[in-house]
Structures are given as structure tokens and as C-alpha cells.
Amino acid sequence: MKRTNNSILGKYSENNLKKKKDKSMSPMVTYEQRYKGDLLTKEVTEPVKPLSISERLAKKEEKEETPDPMSKRVSVTIGDNTYLLGCNEDISETRIRKIAAMADEIYRETKENNPYIATNKTAILSLIECCDRYISLKEENNNLRTEVMFYKQKDMINEEKTRPEPTPIEKLSLSADGDIND
């Protein structure tokens, strides 16, 4: 049987639906075909009824009522291009503006140092510059942490050396059984 759009299999077949990208149709009939021991299964579907005007309005109102997690948008400019970024309670608008200002500053520095390269290459060089600064700051942070730990240990050693000899009452309180052994 030749499939055409006029036949029931042509109108509602699975292959025709893939072309239309319509996944909302429910199966109307399922049929099986056996060919040399293989089982081929097909589903014939029927179209979904169109929504009435009141149903469309209800659906639209339902969409409007659901809050968008990125409800607040911030417009920032980086390298003569304007971007619309979303912010939420985790990232504030001022933080996004600070980040965008820093990105614009790095982009402009890169463009000034390399005026004849394309915009996308300028963006990549700016990204490399940001990563270099990030790695430098991370190494500096680790060095400062190591230095702080060194000074804490040094302070503890000096504290032990300068600690005075405990008085007899302190010795009594430190001993577990209360006997003074001289």
C-alpha cells in the first residue's frame, strides 16, 4: 500500500509526525507487521483537538502566574555589546554590575594592546588574561595561608617557652590524683 497524505496511514503515521515535530498526538491504533520473523510495530495517531479561546486564555494566565527564577534582568555593556543578564537572590544586581565592569575593563585593555585583531580573538585574549589573574591570586592566597600557619605555629612555640613555671596550686589542679610528687 502506497502511503500518501490522503490515506489514514499517510496523515497520521509516525514518520509524518516526526516531520511536523508534533509529539502531542495520542496513539489511535497500534498495528504489527511480521516480515521474515521480525516484528515491526507502528502506531497510528489522531490529531489533538485545538484549544478553545477560554482554554488558551487560562493557559496564558497560568504561565503569567508562575514566577520566573531569573525574574530580574540587568543590562550590562561589555566591549560595545549590551548583554541582558538575569539575577536572583544568590547573585545581586550590584555584584553582576561589578563583574561586568571588570570584564569590560579587561576587554578594553586587551583591545588597546591589540587594536588590529578581531572581536572574538579579543574576547579570547581577555578570557586568558582573567584566568591568569585568577591563578595568580589563587597562588598568592595559598602563600598567605601558609605564612599565617607558620606564624601561628611560631607563636605557639614562643608561648610555650615564655610560659612561667606553674605554682603549687596549679600543679595540684593539673595532677589527676591530687598527689604532689617532687
pLDDT number for residue 146: 95
Residue 113 has pLDDT above 70, yes or no: yes
Calculate the CA dihedral of residues 115, 116, 117, 118 and round it to 10 degrees. 100
The H-or-E segment that residue 79 falls in is none
Question: When comparing pLDDT for 173 and 40, which is higher?
Answer: 173
* Residue ranges of E strands in the chain: 26-35, 38-46, 72-78, 81-87
Please state the pTM of the whole predicted model. 0.47
Question: When comparing pLDDT for 128 and 51, which is higher?
Answer: 128
pLDDT number for residue 112: 92
pLDDT number for residue 52: 84
Give Cα 174 to chain centroid, integer Å.
55
Domain limits of the chain? 8-46, 72-127
| Residues 13 and 44 sit within 8 Å (Cβ to Cβ) | yes
Measure Cα distances from 128 to 50, 125, 133, 163 in Å.
53, 5, 9, 52
The lowest-confidence range among 16-20, 93-97, 108-112 is 16-20
Terminal alpha carbon distance of the chain = 112
Residue 10 has pLDDT above 60, yes or no: no
| Tens-place pLDDT, residues 130-157 | 999 999 999 999 999 999 999 999 888 8
